[in-house]
Copies of this chain bind each other. A is one copy, B any other.
């Protein structure tokens, strides 16, 4: 239509509408005191020129970008993909965009990311830490709004949204105990870890055993370094090879559990008859495995929703001294076939 490819600016709109650029800016920013006729003229001009504000200029001037960052270990891990999905949806409802970064769960990269120049592209960051731990807490004292997810650091200097790992893991274990299982194997523990998802979930497991008067047997604990599907499979193979006797397995997340179930079935064991199984995360996948997987819904949607809301509140707030908040999402057990009562 038009040979000129330059995007329209406030000046162009102002010229067409016969007002100053500041009036156009005011119209765009919903400044209240504008005569309706003037406003209409400006809106017409905006429509005519198909004007769009230059976001770089706006953010240079105002210091806000309208973008929030989301740092996760790896998108190819379903949990984080589904988390990212939820965060993006929630951000969209609030009119902001999400910039995703992957850390690979590597501590050095996590630390680096916190001070990367890329942070300038965002007004704040939702940060799912996997490699850092409580000793690194001071790195979180950054100059921008930061909401922490995950279980690696508690009591840090920032807002923290997370799940009830211990309670949920205890509930999961109690669920197995209620089925009459007493020899409950664990898949995905991390050697010597007391904090972090693995450490906390293992704690919940031990609490449930203790409450039921079942002795803790270290031989039942399957350790892994990562929480990929293959790690669950490997850990289960090791348990089977060790010859230890068990009638249930608590996988510290769904992915691990699905890998472990695969190995159990290969070995000719029936789920839940010989070995009952429960996972953690409530991935979409858990409802289509064979058998379908009983699991913990840790409140992922709620976590995403809350993290975005809290972050945007921080961004909007002028009160920098607002004390950090610790927010826990509700969990629930999702019962499926892998813990169904044996039909006689």
Interfacial residues, chain A to chain B (CB-CB below 8 A): 5, 52-57, 59-60, 65, 67, 74-76, 78, 81-82, 84-85, 88-89, 92, 97-102, 117-118, 120-121, 143, 228-230, 233, 258-259, 261-262, 265-266, 284-285, 287-290
Contact = CB atoms under 8 A, between A and B. Distances in A.
A117 B55 contact: yes
A102 B76 contact: no
Nearest to A50: B115
Contacts of A84: 75, 81, 100
A229 B290 CA distance: 13
Contacts of A290: 261-262, 265-266, 290
A82 B228 CA distance: 14
3 smallest CB-CB distances across A and B, nearest first, come from: A81-B81, A56-B60, A56-B59
A120 B54 contact: yes
Contact of A284 (B65, B76, B98, B284): B76
A287 B255 CA distance: 13
Nearest to A57: B60
Nearest to A121: B55
Given A60-B57, A102-B89, A288-B230, A97 B118 contact: yes
Contact of A81 (B78, B92, B98, B265): B78
Contacts of A57: 60
A335 B230 CA distance: 18
A143 B102 CA distance: 29
Contacts of A5: 143
Contacts of A92: 102
Contact of A85 (B75, B88, B120, B258): B75
A58 B233 CA distance: 49
Contacts of A81: 75-76, 78, 81, 84
A53 B117 contact: yes
A102 B117 contact: no
B98 A99 contact: yes
B75 A121 contact: no
Given A55-B121, A81-B81, 8 more contacts: A54-B60, A55-B120, A67-B99, A75-B85, A229-B285, A259-B288, A265-B290, A290-B290
A48 to B, nearest CB: 16
A88 B84 CA distance: 14
B97 A98 contact: no
Given A84-B75, A289-B262, A56 B65 contact: yes
